[in-house]
């Protein structure tokens, strides 16, 4: 689609996602690599969702949140990888402005929801380890549903307000995005409109949502570690830590990648490094999550074996 001429000003209607470069010899290997990652990610997370639904042993708050996280991850990775795979296969890297906005909306909405969901999961582990006698009462089914709904609704609210401001932007110059998906800074930097208000709103919304969820997660684990250290027996400490170690690994990978990409000062020399770390939280984290939770969690492995045995017997 060609740029439109309006009032002697060129209006850009499409962007070009530069992705991982123009080297033709890398397109097929990259396509196969990301296709394998996407297939494994979808299979792993869908298996966890199905297990949480069908196995009554997993009908407890910890696995309710895990099922929600896996559901979120299937949508999260699907906002980016199918479009990326198509560009490797066809060579077409163009995306409409509103197509770019929709991808950005879904990506950030799910990212914000994941921050709150990880905070909810850490609070669940805090209650289970630090207040075991009150756990069943405090972490009720109603609270589980409420925390899950808040995670999704906050993500929707944040992105609806941000996209409403972005929709006012005009693009009349360069239309190449030096990334493999429509991220906030690369997109708004192409605008010929004043982005001061939008940048300020983004900063405020990020601070209001990311920082509290991160601090709640951090505080929960400080309390958890302090409680574990006070357990007299080594077996007790090992058992208590094993119940939250998987979640701690996931949180560390997710927030570590976000901090490197969005918090540390942006430098031209680190642009490619930032792109690699973006792959971590957009592509690899959704793949790693089901692997970590299935390989390090005895109950999930038992549920999988029960499902396999039941399916084998029914056959």
> What does each of the 315 residues of the chain score in pLDDT, given as a tens digit?
445 554 545 577 889 988 887 777 788 898 999 999 999 999 999 999 999 999 888 889 988 998 999 999 999 899 999 999 999 888 888 999 999 999 999 988 998 999 899 899 889 988 988 888 899 889 999 999 999 999 999 999 989 989 998 988 888 877 888 888 898 888 888 888 888 888 888 888 888 888 888 889 889 888 888 888 887 877 777 777 776 777 777 788 778 777 776 665 555 555 666 677 788 778 888 888 887 777 667 788 888 888 888 776 555
- The rounded distance, in Å, linking the Cα atoms of 282 and 174 is 26
> Which residue blocks in 131-195 are alpha helix, DSSP H?
135-138, 141-166, 184-188
What string of DSSP letters covers 116-128? HHHHHHHHHHHHH
94-96/9-11 β-pairing: unpaired
Q: Are 179 and 271 contacting, i.e. CB atoms less than 8 angstroms apart? A: no
258: closest CA among 209, 191, 204, 221? 209
9-11/4-6 β-pairing: antiparallel
Q: Check residue 266 and give its pLDDT.
A: 57
Q: Which residue has the tokens 């589980």?
A: 144
Give me 74's structure tokens.
């299937």
- The rounded distance, in Å, linking the Cα atoms of 41 and 114 is 16
Strands (E), the chain: 4-6, 9-11, 14-17, 94-96, 176-177
Q: What are 177's strand-pairing partners?
A: 17
b/e per residue, 5-39, with b = 16+ CB within 10 A? eeeeebebebbebebbeeeeeebeebbeebeebbe
Q: Check residue 2 and give its pLDDT.
A: 46
Q: 3-class SS at 267? A: coil
Query: CA end-to-end span of the chain, whole Å?
Result: 53
Q: Are 292 and 246 contacting, i.e. CB atoms less than 8 angstroms apart? A: yes
Q: Check residue 278 and give its pLDDT.
A: 80
Count of residues for the chain?
A: 315
- The rounded distance, in Å, linking the Cα atoms of 44 and 106 is 21
- The rounded distance, in Å, linking the Cα atoms of 179 and 275 is 7
- Rounded to two decimals, the pTM is 0.85
């Amino acid at each position: 689609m060609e740029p439109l001429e309006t009032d002697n000003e060129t209006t850009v209607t499409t962007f070009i996602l530069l992705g991982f470069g123009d080297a033709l010899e890398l397109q097929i290997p990259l396509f196969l690599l990301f296709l394998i990652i996407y297939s494994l990610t979808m299979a792993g997370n869908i298996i966890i969702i199905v297990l949480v639904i069908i196995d009554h042993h997993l009908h407890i708050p910890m696995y309710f949140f895990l099922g929600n996280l896996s559901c979120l991850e299937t949508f999260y990775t699907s906002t980016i990888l199918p479009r990326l795979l198509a560009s490797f296969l066809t060579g077409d890297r163009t995306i409409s402005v509103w197509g770019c906005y929709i991808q950005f909306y879904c990506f950030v909405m799910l990212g914000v929801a994941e921050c709150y969901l990880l905070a909810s999961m850490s609070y669940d582990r805090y209650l289970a380890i630090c207040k075991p006698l009150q756990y069943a009462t405090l972490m009720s089914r109603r609270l589980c549903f409420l925390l899950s709904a808040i995670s999704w609704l906050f993500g929707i609210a944040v992105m609806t307000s941000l996209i409403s401001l972005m929709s006012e932007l005009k693009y009349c110059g360069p239309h190449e995005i030096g990334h493999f998906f429509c991220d906030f800074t690369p997109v708004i930097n192409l605008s010929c409109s004043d982005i001061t208000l939008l940048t300020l709103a983004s900063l405020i919304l990020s601070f209001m949502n990311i920082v509290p969820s991160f601090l709640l997660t951090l505080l929960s684990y400080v309390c958890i570690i302090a409680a574990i250290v006070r357990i007299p027996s080594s077996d007790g400490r090992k058992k208590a830590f094993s119940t939250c170690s998987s979640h701690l690994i996931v949180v560390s990978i997710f927030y570590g990648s976000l901090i490197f990409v969005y918090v540390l000062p942006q430098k031209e020399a680190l642009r490619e490094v930032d792109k690699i770390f973006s792959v971590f939280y957009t592509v690899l984290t959704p793949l790693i999550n089901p692997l970590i939770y299935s390989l390090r969690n005895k109950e999930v492995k038992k549920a999988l074996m029960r499902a396999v045995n039941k399916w084998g017997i029914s056959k």
